[in-house]
């Protein structure tokens, strides 16, 4: 795609990109305040209330887990302590994190000698701006993930490790990046001698970053922290509707207590446990193995996309996890513009179809919509995401061939 589109993409300066993005977010923030005050449907994300309530508990000397459904690291509640006095403070922090993520994307594009204007896919992306200005904390994580990417590409493995530890402490899923990073460090090392000094540094600093923070939080908040922030995610029911293809199966099996398939019943197999196999097999093993040494950022992008596609729960916020890699991936992509438009349109349409069905259920209480509405549309969305993953695989395969061709020449 960039081969053609890049010619039409204006070359904007970093200052212009950052200033316009800031202006856009200020606009969104102000609109959000207006909508919250004057309209029936609130703009502010429900999770933001959870964060700010938890911050109030911390402010009053209590545990953030005193707030029901707070299932994050206490660091987040600490970070948002000033919301006790200024409610919008957290949103401003998230917007700043979202802008810093954009700046790090620009740095990566610069380093790869690509047009910085590709960063508009993040910086001018209304989905990104909406999510951070509604008070979703994903941008705190995207900064850390982009720092990991920057440090890894600059061969600063100790720093990359420390931030990887922090990222996994914040949310478990960045664990999937560890195999890809290890494969790019000393990539000429033969497979039968995997241990190198640099890899060891990365692993140890990752363990240190995660271990110190987790031990500190455990020391302060005890078992409650482990249960709410980590263990809960292994036992959660996930029965309410969401984009995931597994959703209806999980709802029905949570009622029955067992799988409806006799074979699974005989062996006591639960679908929710089985779901990890294709998800982690693809995102944590196969994709890093094949893509890490073609392009690390593209590898991260595809890994994250596969992780979300095969996850037991999917919400719109999850796509922010891979959107931060999109500008760099797109700058290198060879997918044709017409195909890109078609894929993007299909993604939007299938997601829209699911949202329409969810609206019918959630707000209108329409009957008999679970199987023919919600589940079928989540199946279509899943197929669309898989088709996108296929397109990414073919694209990276083409990029690899180009790289080999260049090397031969």
Partner 1 sequence: MNHRTTLFVYGNEKAVFDALGGKDKIVVPASKASPLAREDRIEIDVSMLKPEYRDILGKLQLLNVQLGRKRNEKPQFTIFSDHESQPAGVRIDVAPQTARNMAQYEKMSQLAVEMVLQLIRVDQNATPYFFEEWYRAYLFEEPDLEVSALRIWNTLVGGAFPFTSAELQQATSVELILDGDKLRFLFYWPLVDHRLEFARDKREIGVFYLDSLPGDYDLSISGARVRGNSKFVPTSLYVNSFHTQLPGVSAEHTFVEPTGLHPKYKVSVSGKNEAPKSTCRLIFDLDIPSTYIVDRYQLAWFDDIFRNVSVFGRSDLELPSYKVSEGCSLRVELGPDVREFEIPLHLRYGEPLRGVKPTGLGTGDLYWDCETDPETDSLIRGSFMHENRILERTHWQMFHIGSQGPNYLEALLPVGDVRESRIVETGTLALVSVFAVWLAKLFWQI
Residues that bind partner 1 (CB under 8 A): 49-50, 53, 67-69, 237, 239-240, 245-246, 248-249, 251-256, 259-261, 271, 274-275, 278, 281-282, 286-287, 290-291, 294, 306, 310, 361-371, 375, 379, 382-383, 386, 389-390, 393-394, 396-397, 400
Min dist. Cβ of residue 250 to partner 1 (A):
9
Min dist. Cβ of residue 131 to partner 1 (A):
20
Q: Rounded distance, CA 166 to CA 383, Å? A: 33
Judged by CB, which is closer to partner 1: 148, or 248? 248
The DSSP call for residue 312 is: S
- Give residues with Cβ within 8 angstroms of 191, minimum separation 6: none
Q: The dihedral of CA 353, 355, 357, 359: what is its sign? A: negative
Min dist. Cβ of residue 183 to partner 1 (A):
13
DSSP sequence for 360-399:
HHHTT--SS-IIIIIIHHHHHHHHHHHHHHHHHHHHHHHH
Min dist. Cβ of residue 375 to partner 1 (A):
6
For Cα atoms 373, 380, 268, give the angle at the middle one, nearest 5 degrees: 80
CB atoms within 10 A of CB 385: 23
Q: Rounded distance, CA 133 to CA 112, Å? A: 30
Judged by CB, which is closer to partner 1: 202, or 300? 300
Min dist. Cβ of residue 315 to partner 1 (A):
14
Min dist. Cβ of residue 164 to partner 1 (A):
23
Judged by CB, which is closer to partner 1: 26, or 286? 286
Cα–Cα distance list, 50 to 119, 168, 208, 266, 406 (Å): 31, 21, 29, 41, 52
Judged by CB, which is closer to partner 1: 207, or 252? 252
Judged by CB, which is closer to partner 1: 96, or 383? 383
Q: The dihedral of CA 174, 175, 177, 178: what is its sign? A: positive
Q: The dihedral of CA 119, 122, 125, 129: what is its sign? A: negative
Min dist. Cβ of residue 159 to partner 1 (A):
29
Judged by CB, which is closer to partner 1: 336, or 400? 400
Judged by CB, which is closer to partner 1: 155, or 371? 371
Min dist. Cβ of residue 374 to partner 1 (A):
9
Q: Rounded distance, CA 392 to CA 378, Å? A: 21
3-state SS of 227-271?
A: HHHHHHHHHCCCCCCCCCCCHHHHHHHHHHCCCCCHHHHHHCCCH
């Amino acid at each position: 795609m960039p081969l053609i589109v890049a010619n039409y993409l204006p070359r904007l300066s970093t200052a212009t990109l950052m200033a316009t993005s800031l202006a856009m977010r200020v606009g969104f923030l102000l609109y959000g305040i207006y909508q919250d005050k004057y309209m029936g449907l609130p703009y502010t994300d429900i999770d933001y209330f959870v964060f700010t309530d938890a911050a109030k508990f911390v402010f009053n000397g209590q545990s953030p887990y005193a707030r029901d459904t707070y299932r994050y690291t206490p660091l987040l509640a600490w970070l948002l302590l000033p919301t006790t006095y200024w409610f919008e403070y957290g949103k401003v922090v998230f917007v700043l994190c979202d802008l810093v993520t954009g700046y790090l994307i620009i740095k990566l594009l610069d380093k790869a000698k690509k047009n910085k204007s590709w960063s508009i896919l993040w910086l001018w992306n209304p989905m990104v701006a909406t999510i951070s200005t509604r008070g979703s904390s994903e941008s705190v994580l995207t900064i850390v993930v982009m720092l990991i990417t920057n440090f890894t590409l600059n061969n600063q493995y100790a720093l990359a490790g420390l931030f990887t530890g922090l990222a996994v402490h914040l949310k478990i899923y960045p664990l999937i990046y560890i195999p890809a990073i290890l494969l790019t460090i000393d990539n000429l090392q033969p497979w039968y001698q995997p241990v190198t000094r640099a890899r060891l540094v990365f692993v140890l600093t990752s363990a240190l970053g995660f271990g110190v923070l987790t031990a500190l939080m455990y020391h302060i908040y005890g078992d409650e922290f482990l249960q709410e922030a980590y263990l809960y995610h292994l036992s959660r029911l996930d029965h309410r509707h969401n984009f995931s293809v597994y959703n209806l199966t999980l709802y029905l099996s949570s009622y029955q207590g067992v799988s409806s398939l006799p074979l699974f019943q005989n062996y006591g197999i639960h679908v929710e446990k089985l779901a990890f196999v294709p998800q982690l097999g693809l995102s944590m093993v196969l994709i890093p193995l094949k893509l890490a040494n073609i392009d690390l950022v593209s590898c991260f992008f595809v890994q994250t996309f596969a992780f979300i596609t095969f996850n037991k729960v999917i919400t719109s916020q999850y796509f922010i996890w891979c959107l931060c890699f999109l500008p760099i991936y797109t700058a290198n992509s060879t997918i044709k513009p017409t195909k890109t438009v078609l894929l993007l349109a299909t993604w939007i349409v299938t997601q829209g179809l699911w949202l329409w069905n969810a609206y019918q259920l959630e707000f209108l209480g329409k009957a008999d919509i679970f199987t023919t509405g919600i589940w079928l549309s989540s199946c279509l969305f899943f197929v669309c995401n898989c088709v996108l993953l296929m397109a990414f695989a073919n694209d990276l395969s083409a990029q690899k061939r180009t790289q080999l061709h260049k090397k031969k020449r």
